[in-house]
Amino acid sequence: MIERVVGLAEKLEPIALIGAGGIGKTSIALTVLDHSRIKERFGGNRRFIRCDKFPPSRSNFLRRLSQAIGAGVENPEDLDPLRLFLSSEEMLIVLDNAESILDPRGTDGKEIYGVVRELGQFSNICLVITSRITTVPPDCKTIKVPTLSMEAARNTFSGIYEHGGRSDRINDILGQLDYHPLSITLLATVAQQNQWDNSRLAGEWEQRQTGVLQTEHDDSLAATIELSLASPMFRALGPDARGLLGIVAFFPQGVDEKNFRWLFPSIPDINTIFDKFCILSLAYRSGSFVTMLAPLRDYLRPTDLTQSTHLCATKDLYLTRLSFVIDPDTPTFQESTWITSEDVNVEHLLDVFTFINANSEVIWDACANFMKHLYWHKKRQTILRSKVEQLPDDHPSKPNCLFWLSRLFHAMGNHTEQKSLLLHLLALRRTEGNDFQVAQTLRELSDANQMLDLFEEGIREAKEALEIMERVGGTWDRARCLESLADLLLENKQLDAAEDAISGAINLWEEDQQYHICQSHQTLGQIYRRKGEREKAVQNFEVALGIASRFEWHNLIFWTHYAMAELFHLEDELDDAQDHITQAKLHTVDDKLCLGIAMEMQGWIWLKQGSLEGAMSEALGAKEIYEKLGAATDLGHVMGLTQAIEEKMESRAAPATSDSSDE
């Protein structure tokens, strides 16, 4: 960046260094001012003007400019008296902290802006502006100053702090500061002045976060941030501005621009306010989100969350949004995919408010709904798990939380954990004496045991669930039990019984229950495949694919293509198998487990086609995914594939080794 600024200065281009307070703008300007090439080019005609050191008015600026360049004009009213002096030779002028004079809401803001713009148009002058606000003359080459690189941050810290060597814990703290230069300098200075070792420094950070960042000389992050908040432009945003900044600060991802109107319906100029946050370098845009640097976020986050009107209103809106019914058979199902972009924000909101309102059923019900959203749209682990498990067993929300947590583990392929949660849930349900809920849990447990290859145990549970649902459930509930029973009977090679069960389910589904009708045809196709009735299998798979494609149900499209790839693979129709598994991969969307399963299948197909490199590449990709997800069962399966590939590689290498030996 220094080289870039020096290069522009040598061409006499006007330059604006823009960024948040403490980002290093002044340091860059001073380094450029003292650069050997700049000294050689401009000699003694290098001027540095601190714009925050005089009252922000046009007359004060012109008087300070006259003094800095040595023009000797006492009170110039404009640039005319200075023009001859300014144009006499090449000159570099730095206007540092120029936001204090360029703020459009400040005293004489427009007039000062005009003078600065005219100053930058002198052909012999290189004007360098450092500013927190982006309202600089349009002729300036604007350079956004980023945070430090990881290595530069470490060097900055260790250059000041001498009481402890480098450590992973300190590196982690630097990362939590977003490698913000001022924050790192303050942290190192405070630790050095107090002679803290690494352990003490880490402890102080854990307790106080950015509250640590204040030296004995009253240099602090707080002072830098408050300076930005004191600007006329910020004050002009009105009484809601600080609260809205607090919302941006609270959420790890910031606030999605698409949600402005939904989250802040009572604030008519909400887009303008967020634009001004970015103009003031208090926030920045990352994709569609308006967010901020971690040190600013920690300082500006509301201290008493329950008293923050804006945050409480935002929380209620998110809880309401989570409570909408998610049903894949309804047209509104796709609307619930909003969670894929906001899951980190929602998870943080729930994590905080389950601590604040630990006994609130509303919050815990929202946790269950959040896990339901993840199950359908973004299968991943959640930090809420430990909190759910620590809830007292008599808490009314615990069963629903356990249920959706178990479903989430099912979706991630961790069926051992799924079963553990369901056994806990089943005990709670039996204690309650609610037969319907007992049956529902038994059916889920039977699904988990199917995935763990415990078919007999799963069949017993599915039959008990069906027996209960025939007494207390509706047609949909009976059909679901028959569906689960059919899957287990299929895996246990009781194909006729499986066909009877799934046919019974199809007869029970209503016309509007297309999602389950699609799943049932998938299962029926698998049964016919196992029976060797190829045409019937393909026919049912195509029915399932037609339904799933019509509604754009990516997970069902994936599984149908996967089933057809499996069929053609076993029939040695490998080109068709490759076509279907490739199509399946296109519909994994954000589902890493399904991607791993598809890669494993493609590995088997490549192996049969003789492409061992392709097979191993797919196998290793699947293995990496399974390991990250903790999908133990699937990991065991893919190890069988890698072993088969290695054996094939060894058998291919054996003749070559033998020939070499004979020679």
What confidence score (pLDDT) does residue 663 get?
A: 33
Domain enclosing residue 139, as ranges: 2-144
Same domain, 64 and 136: yes
Model pLDDT for residues 145-158, shown as the tens digit of each residue = 999 999 999 999 99
Place 660 in a pLDDT band, splitting at 50, 70 and 90: very low
Same domain, 170 and 125: no
The domain total for the chain is 3
Same domain, 129 and 16: yes
Same domain, 40 and 172: no
Same domain, 16 and 134: yes
Count CB-CB contacts under 10 A for residue 132: 26
Assess if residue 262 is contained within a domain.
Answer: no
What confidence score (pLDDT) does residue 656 get?
A: 52
Assess if residue 43 is contained within a domain.
Answer: yes
The two tokens of residue 416 are 């051992």
Query: Do 249 and 229 meet the contact criterion of CB atoms below 8 Å apart?
Result: no
What is the distance between the alpha carbons of residues 574 and 569, in angstroms, rounded to a whole number? Answer: 6
Place 662 in a pLDDT band, splitting at 50, 70 and 90: very low
What confidence score (pLDDT) does residue 183 get?
A: 94
Average pLDDT over residues 348-357: 95
What is the distance between the alpha carbons of residues 523 and 290, in angstroms, rounded to a whole number? Answer: 46
Same domain, 11 and 125: yes
Same domain, 616 and 631: yes
Torsion of CA 401, 402, 404, 405, to 10 degrees: 110
* Signed CA dihedral, 234, 240, 243, 249: sign only: negative
Average pLDDT over residues 161-181: 88
> Residue 22: which CATH number?
3.40.50.300
Same domain, 129 and 158: no
> How many CA atoms does the CB half-sphere of 582 hold within 13 Å?
7
What is the distance between the alpha carbons of residues 165 and 201, in angstroms, rounded to a whole number? Answer: 12
The three-state secondary structure class of 65 is helix
3-state helix, strand, coil split of the chain in percent (to 5) is 70, 5, 25
Same domain, 137 and 214: no
Q: What percent of the chain has pLDDT over 90?
A: 85
The two tokens of residue 423 are 């056994």
Place 36 in a pLDDT band, splitting at 50, 70 and 90: very high
Which residue, 219, 249, 266, sits at the end of a domain?
219
Backbone angles phi, psi at 18, to 5 degrees: -115, 140
The two tokens of residue 489 are 């009977």
Assess if residue 600 is contained within a domain.
Answer: yes
Query: Do 422 and 444 meet the contact criterion of CB atoms below 8 Å apart?
Result: yes
Does residue 590 surpass a pLDDT of 80? no
Place of tokens 């693979």: 569
Q: What single DSSP character describes residue 52?
A: G
What confidence score (pLDDT) does residue 72 get?
A: 86
Same domain, 661 and 632: yes
Assess if residue 183 is contained within a domain.
Answer: yes
Place 162 in a pLDDT band, splitting at 50, 70 and 90: confident
Average pLDDT over residues 521-535: 95
Does residue 124 surpass a pLDDT of 90? yes
Q: Are strands 284-286 and 289-291 parallel, antiparallel or unpaired?
A: antiparallel
Backbone angles phi, psi at 252, to 5 degrees: -55, -35
What is the separation of C-alpha 54 from the centre of its chain, rounded to a whole number of angstroms?
44
Q: What percent of the chain has pLDDT over 70?
A: 98
The three-state secondary structure class of 20 is coil
Query: Do 541 and 567 meet the contact criterion of CB atoms below 8 Å apart?
Result: yes
Least confident of 88-92, 286-290, 449-453, 650-654: 650-654
What is the distance between the alpha carbons of residues 654 and 174, in angstroms, rounded to a whole number? Answer: 53
Assess if residue 460 is contained within a domain.
Answer: no
Average pLDDT over residues 238-245: 94
What is the distance between the alpha carbons of residues 248 and 228, in angstroms, rounded to a whole number? Answer: 16
Least confident of 253-257, 539-543, 566-570, 626-630: 626-630
Same domain, 159 and 200: yes
What is the distance between the alpha carbons of residues 173 and 291, in angstroms, rounded to a whole number? Answer: 20
CA distances from 531 to 184, 496, 535, 544 (A): 68, 9, 11, 19
Query: Do 20 and 65 meet the contact criterion of CB atoms below 8 Å apart?
Result: no
Does residue 661 surpass a pLDDT of 70? no
The two tokens of residue 215 are 């030296």
Average pLDDT over residues 447-457: 95
Among 374, 377, 376, CA closest to 388: 374
Same domain, 205 and 103: no
Does residue 391 surpass a pLDDT of 70? yes
Does residue 406 surpass a pLDDT of 70? yes
Helices 592-609, 632-662: inter-axial angle, 10-degree rounding = 30
Assess if residue 196 is contained within a domain.
Answer: yes
Which residue, 144, 166, 197, sits at the end of a domain?
144
Model pLDDT for residues 13-30, shown as the tens digit of each residue = 999 999 999 999 999 999
Kind plus residue range of the DSSP H or E element containing 499: helix 495-508
Q: Which ranges of 238-287 would DSSP assign to H, the alpha helix?
A: 241-250, 260-263, 270-279
Kind plus residue range of the DSSP H or E element containing 128: strand 125-131
Count CB-CB contacts under 10 A for residue 333: 18
Which residue, 171, 194, 219, sits at the end of a domain?
219
Kind plus residue range of the DSSP H or E element containing 94: strand 91-96
Query: Do 175 and 208 meet the contact criterion of CB atoms below 8 Å apart?
Result: no
The three-state secondary structure class of 321 is helix
Q: Which ranges of 473-494 would DSSP assign to H, the alpha helix?
A: 475-491
Assess if residue 452 is contained within a domain.
Answer: no
Assess if residue 214 is contained within a domain.
Answer: yes
